[in-house]
Amino acid sequence: MRLLVIEDNLNLVANLFEYFEARGHALDAAPDGVTGLHLATTQAYDVVILDWTLPRMEGREVLQRLRSSGNAATPVIMLTARDELPDKIAGFRAGADDYLTKPFALPELEVRIEALLARAGGRSRSRVLEVEDLRLDLSTLEASRDGQLLHLYPACRKLLKTLMQARPAAVTRARLEPAVWGEDPPDGDMLRSHVYELRRRVDGPFPVKLVHTLPRVGYRLAALHEDTRHDA
């Protein structure tokens, strides 16, 4: 199991790592909302553990942005010192799957995670995106086409994931650049270079082209027999 912990309390984060790593789980951590949102939207996690009060971006906004990005499947547990009913309602309405009040016992968090994963069993089984013969495993970010493994750079994997989650809709440059590089994209037209590399890997040897450029709009991933009115 792979967990993302978005929490600015370093002692709590250390306790979570010690407890869950001892049980064979992998964890990533983010000390603020902006970093946490970037990881949650560019990497694949089984569960996100999200603090309500965070620097740079509140947990509630992180959750709302995560859900609006198209990620409705990953279970999220909110951690908070707030125990009032209106706060809990606000968390659930923002998209939380569960709500745990601090302080809490680590075994309780563990069983809540297990319960979430059990309820999300159907979603977990569908953690593979498919377009025609192109497949992307969200758990490993391994991509294949027609049964052939595609060797992609990490940035191209993030780019492919974003396009596949949105397909057949177009994705603008303004959305793609943060998905690949976070809040600090590199100088120059690196996105165009990565799209070129992605197209070379995904489409190069195959007769049906999937990666399309929409002039003055962005990019999209779709089969030719899907809506192609704007493709160039």
pLDDT in tens, 214-225: 998 899 998 865
Q: Comparing C-alpha atoms, which of 117, 106, 101, 116 is closest to residue 51? A: 101
CATH class held by domain 2-125 = alpha beta
Say yes or no to pLDDT of 79 above 60.
yes
- If you average pLDDT over residues 130-155, what whole number do you get? 88
- Comparing 125 with 192, which gets the higher pLDDT? 192
Q: Average per-residue pLDDT in the chain?
A: 86
- Comparing 122 with 36, which gets the higher pLDDT? 36
Sheet holding 218-221, edge to edge: 171-172, 218-221, 211-214
Say yes or no to pLDDT of 230 above 80.
no
Q: CA neighbours within 13 Å on the CB side: how many for 205?
A: 9
- If you average pLDDT over residues 181-196, what whole number do you get? 84
**What does the pLDDT read at residue 2?**
86
Q: How confident is the model at residue 121 (pLDDT cuts 50, 70, 90)?
A: low
- Distance, in Å, from the CA atom of 13 to the CA atom of 195, rounded to the nearest integer, reads 36
- Distance, in Å, from the CA atom of 157 to the CA atom of 202, rounded to the nearest integer, reads 11
> How does pLDDT run across 35-67, given as a tens digit for each residue?
999 999 888 888 999 999 999 999 999 999 988
Say yes or no to pLDDT of 226 above 60.
no
Q: Which helix (H) or strand (E) holds 60?
A: helix 59-68
In the chain, domain spans: 2-125, 128-221
Q: How confident is the model at residue 16 (pLDDT cuts 50, 70, 90)?
A: very high
**Do the first three CATH levels of 2-125 and 128-221 match, i.e. the same topology?**
no
CB atoms closer than 10 angstroms to residue 114: 12
Q: What's the count of helices (H) and strands (E) in the chain, helices before strands?
A: 9, 12
Say yes or no to pLDDT of 86 above 90.
no
In the chain, the percentage of residues whose pLDDT exceeds 90 is 47
CATH class held by domain 128-221 = mainly alpha
**What does the pLDDT read at residue 91?**
81
- If you average pLDDT over residues 62-84, what whole number do you get? 85
| Cis geometry, peptide bond prior to residue 207 (ω within 30 degrees of 0) | no
